[in-house]
A and B are shown apart, each in its own frame.
Chain A
Amino acid sequence: MEIRQIAPFLYEIPRGARPGMRVPARFYADEALAAAARADRSLEQLINTATLPGVVGHVLAMPDMHQGYGFPIGGVVATEPPEGVVSPGGVGYDINCGVRLLTGRVTAREILPHLDALASALYADCPSGVGRGGEVRLSAAELDQAMVEGARWAVRRGFGMAEDLEHTEEGGCLEGADPGAVSDRARARGRDQMGTLGAGNHFIEIDRVERIEDEAVARRFGLFADQVVVQIHCGSRGLGHQVCTDSVNRLQKAARDWGYRLPDRELVCAPLESPEGRAYLAAMKAAANYAFANRQVLAHRIRGSFERVLAPEGLPRELFPLYDIAHNIAKMERHEIEGRARTLCVHRKGATRAFGPGSPEIPRAFREVGQPVLVPGSMGTSSWVLVGTAEAMRQTFGSSCHGAGRRLSRHQAKRAVQGAGLRRELEEGGIHVRAGSLAGLAEEAPSAYKDVDRVVDIVHGAGIARRVARLVPLAVIKG
């Protein structure tokens, strides 16, 4: 396969590399990660996305890319109506999986004696793991409201404050959601999961700001050294999974009827403006809004835990919203291609929006510097707060990486790592762990992931996001 390096950290596979490609494929990597990408099927999957009808510019993969199904994880693909398509596989099953970061006033030094109690309180207050429903049981009407209004519904119900909405991508609510496009099955899965973390790679983490790399932007983001911050990583739970399952099934026949010749059935798609395409977008938005509401409710629970543990100690327990971003989503956005602003459907599957300074879509408070980009690392290692750049708007439809990216399969990780040993290792490193399943813990072992610092070096080096602060974990809560 012809791969050429076209800039530091940027490689391109030309359009002619395989018949059917409509645009070139580009990926961000250093030499070692480029070699890793060649070793699994992520590049083949990226090339597959370059064959989608109506794809424009170039398809992209971020440096945390790895093999998925249909689209690679780390993929960014933009399509343009009318012939452009939307593909449920380009969003993934966990619709609007994303990250929210809350910033405290309390410092790590102050909180250390209370960390164990805090970790236990978070584990008790934020339902996680298999089969644990939430305390927020929704009536059918309330579920509809949550799907239409997203985080706004949650705030209206008393879970959080108005400021949270300003600091959430899209204000926590995608316009155009239609609960009528969501199946009874999806509703059944979502009804008692509001305000729950789930299992898999989802987590709540208390972190310490280990170092600041950009003082001016950090100040704007309200970040300072030794500060305690909290990350929430989760999505739309069973409701979103079912919306994707329903759509992928429904489009199997529709894609045949349109005569699409797709190299992978997970790439099924429909024209953005077709009834099927519109139905998927309306259901996906409903699931995305459910996810925004879910992270909002969890944030409220976390604030409750901080209040209960820290207030009696006379310590600052406030947690402010920094930002909440999606990393599995498709959205209509305006981007400039060949000197002309065009409306595109940008699929981000395991990629984060990283809009630069001046973008009207980002909170007023960050408009001069760019939006916060949240990059959780693997458990027990570091995470990053980055800032979006003008360069991202030029190169990547305003996108950047979303995490460390898997290196080993879950199966391999389980064979190589014992959950109990890993827990001991993390705790010996000073990290408090609360986990529902030791096997699940082993699957998420740090050794199963790439080095997030290296991934961040690449996006920083390529200019598609800039380093602001490095976070290290103090406590991890997992299902």
Chain B
Amino acid sequence: MPPDASPGPPAFEEVDHTADRAIVARGASLEELFENAARGMNAILGFRPDPGAAPEARRIALEAVDAEGLLVSWLSELAFLAETESLGFERFGFERFSPTALAATAFGRKAAAMEKLIKAVTYHDLAIRREGGIYTARIVFDV
């Protein structure tokens, strides 16, 4: 379920939340859900890569109490890199992945522009569900 797959539900979409911004992300596997959630967050950030910038890669290793916690930590890590280094990531290679730990390399570029900073990725109403073979999560961002 890559981001441009069709037909079927989109890999991610923005949904309403009164105070903040929220997305629903989907994936055929947990890894794919994590990738699509990262791309959905890029849409909230308004990330546009600088075509002239050299490719960048960052190693990310995380642990959490459960899959939801891991998803929050994953997106928080990417939001941190967006804020402090103006980096956006579009490709991901997972070397290790379980519901409570991951090790990955994120590939991306410096941004030509970002419209928004993400204050935080929240746990609010966050539950990863699996229905009909598709993992789904609704993630609320404090912006």
- By a beta-carbon cutoff of 8 Å, the part of chain A in contact with chain B is 40, 66-70, 73, 92-94, 130-131, 185, 188-189, 198-200, 238, 241-242, 244-245, 248-249, 252-253, 256, 264-266, 268, 406-412, 437, 439-440
Contacts and interface: CB of A to CB of B under 8 A. Distances in A.
B143 to A, nearest CB: 6
B115 A439 contact: yes
B140 A69 contact: yes
Interface in B87-140: 111, 114-117, 119-126, 140
B19 A244 contact: no
A241 B119 contact: yes
Interface residues of B, number: 37
A439 B68 contact: no
Most buried by A among B73, B76, B126, B140: B76
Contacts of A408: 18
A93 B140 CA distance: 13
B10 interface: no
A245 B124 contact: no
Contacts of B50: none
Nearest to B15: A411
A102 to B, nearest CB: 26
B120 A249 contact: no
A401 to B, nearest CB: 15
Given A245-B120, A252-B65, 10 more contacts: A68-B19, A69-B19, A69-B124, A69-B125, A70-B122, A73-B19, A189-B80, A189-B83, A249-B69, A406-B19
A408 B17 CA distance: 8
B124 A242 contact: no
Given A93-B142, A244-B120, A245-B76, A189 B19 contact: no
A70 B20 CA distance: 13
A40 B64 CA distance: 31
A78 B123 CA distance: 23
Contacts of A70: 122, 124
Cβ-closest 4 pairs across A and B: A69-B124, A265-B123, A241-B119, A93-B120
A348 to B, nearest CB: 16
Contact of A94 (B17, B119, B121): B119
A238 B117 contact: yes
A241 B120 contact: yes
A270 B86 CA distance: 34
A253 B64 CA distance: 9
Given A93-B142, A249-B69, A264-B124, A67 B18 contact: yes
A201 B84 CA distance: 21
Nearest to A265: B123
B92 to A, nearest CB: 20
A265 B66 CA distance: 12
B72 A249 contact: yes
A440 B80 contact: no
A265 B126 contact: yes
A93 B19 CA distance: 13
A57 to B, nearest CB: 25
B84 A189 contact: yes
A298 to B, nearest CB: 17
B86 A131 contact: yes
Contacts of A94: 119, 142
Given A249-B69, A252-B69, A69 B117 contact: no
Contacts of B68: 265
Contact of B18 (A40, A248, A439): A40
Contact of A409 (B16, B116, B122): B16
Contacts of A437: 115-116
Contacts of B126: 265
B143 A200 contact: yes
A281 to B, nearest CB: 19
8 contacts: A73-B19, A94-B119, A199-B116, A238-B83, A245-B121, A264-B123, A409-B19, A411-B16
A87 to B, nearest CB: 12
A407 B138 CA distance: 21
A390 B75 CA distance: 45
Contacts of A264: 123-125
A412 B121 CA distance: 20
A440 B117 CA distance: 11
A248 B21 contact: no
Contacts of A198: 117
Nearest to A242: B80
B46 interface: yes
Nearest to A241: B119
A92 B142 CA distance: 9
A264 B22 CA distance: 16
A264 B127 CA distance: 11
A241 B76 CA distance: 11
B26 to A, nearest CB: 18
B72 to A, nearest CB: 7
Contacts of B15: 411
B116 A69 contact: no
Nearest to B14: A411
A412 B124 contact: no
Nearest to A415: B16
Contact of B142 (A199, A241, A252): A241
A253 B70 CA distance: 12
